[in-house]
Amino acid sequence: MSAPDTFLAGQSFAARAFYRFGRTITTVLTRSYTRMSIYGRENIPSTGAFVLAPVHRSYVDTPIAACVTSRRLRFLGKDSMWKYGWFGWVLSALGAIPVTRGTADREALRRSVSVLEAGDPLVLFPEGERKSGPIVQPMFDGAVYVALKAGVPIIPVGIGGSEMVMPKGAKFVFPRKVRVVVGAPLYPESSGGRVSRGELSRQSERLHVELQRLFDLAMIDVGWTYASLDDQ
């Protein structure tokens, strides 16, 4: 099954039903294993598209993101994972969207905007790949760009503790406490058409500041700090 086919398969009734089933199992296991607490869920829009923009410290951030809302979320994934048709259908049903790594990311941007224009919420990690430490790293403009292009709000999310659940290089998922703080929606000042570099920079800085604030809040009461790790 080709990437476009799996993208369309992810929109079917069967795919949506499978997502609900998979999300139920994932969220029950994730929340119980990490003793997760979630604050600010009322900030998630009940209808319409949005970009969910969490900080990124661990592979488990993806299932953690699925826990913040019962709405069906879409994710980006390497198109190589769609090598086998049946597995590609499963990935698409679970909300994944195939994109090609090593390109100029134009395909990913187009698909992201298409998902949002279709009314589906989309998860994008503004820091890109997993980072480490208490500071939100310089961000890619992709999350802000697609939100501005589609005219949808960005929902910033701080995730505290996930780096200890599954640090970089870890082969085991540890039962550590996770705290999630969902921020208020950041609405674009303008949307549609051409996105100016100035507006992109302003909105990116706005998101960066809010993500740092939420990340700091999320690290409260997780049972450890980055400073304590440095002392070890």
What would the pLDDT profile of 24-71 be if each residue is shown by its tens digit? 998 999 999 999 999 999 999 999 999 999 999 999 999 999 999 999
Angle between helices 106-117 and 142-150 (to 10 degrees): 40
Supply the pLDDT for residue 6.
47
- Select, from the ranges 16-25, 50-59, 186-195, the one with the highest average predicted confidence (pLDDT): 50-59
Q: Is residue 16 part of a domain?
A: no
Distances (CA, A) of 129 to 55, 58, 126, 222: 10, 9, 9, 23
Question: What percent of the chain stands above pLDDT 70?
Answer: 87
Instruction: Report residue 229's pLDDT band, with 50, 70 and 90 as the boundaries.
Output: low
Q: Is residue 19 part of a domain?
A: no
Q: Is residue 222 part of a domain?
A: yes
Distance between CA atoms of residues 72 and 93, nearest Å = 10
- Of 170, 178, 147, nearest in space to 68 by CA: 178
Question: What percent of the chain stands above pLDDT 90?
Answer: 49
Comparison of pLDDT for 11 and 3, the residue scoring more? 11
207, two tokens = 């998101």
Q: Is residue 83 part of a domain?
A: no
Supply the pLDDT for residue 42.
96
Comparison of pLDDT for 58 and 107, the residue scoring more? 58
Q: Is residue 23 part of a domain?
A: no
Give mean pLDDT, residues 195-210: 90
pLDDT of 7 strictly over 80? no
φ, ψ (nearest 5 deg) of residue 72? -75, 120
Distance between CA atoms of residues 186 and 152, nearest Å = 9
Contacts for 72 with CB less than 8 Å, ≥ 6 apart: 16, 19, 20, 23, 95, 120, 121
176, two tokens = 């550590």
Q: What is the pTM of this model?
A: 0.87
Q: Is residue 186 part of a domain?
A: yes
* E strand segments, the chain: 37-39, 51-54, 75-78, 96-99, 122-123, 154-160, 179-182
Q: How many domains does the chain have?
A: 1
Q: Is residue 17 part of a domain?
A: no
Is 1 in contact with 105 (CB distance < 8 Å)?
no
Q: What are the beta bridge partners of residue 52? A: 123, 155
Q: Is residue 30 part of a domain?
A: no
CATH number at 216 reads 3.40.1130.10
Supply the pLDDT for residue 10.
54
Give mean pLDDT, residues 68-92: 78
Distance between CA atoms of residues 6 and 93, nearest Å = 9
* Domain membership of residue 48 as a residue range: 38-76+98-230
Instruction: Report residue 1's pLDDT band, with 50, 70 and 90 as the boundaries.
Output: very low
Supply the pLDDT for residue 228.
60
Supply the pLDDT for residue 8.
47
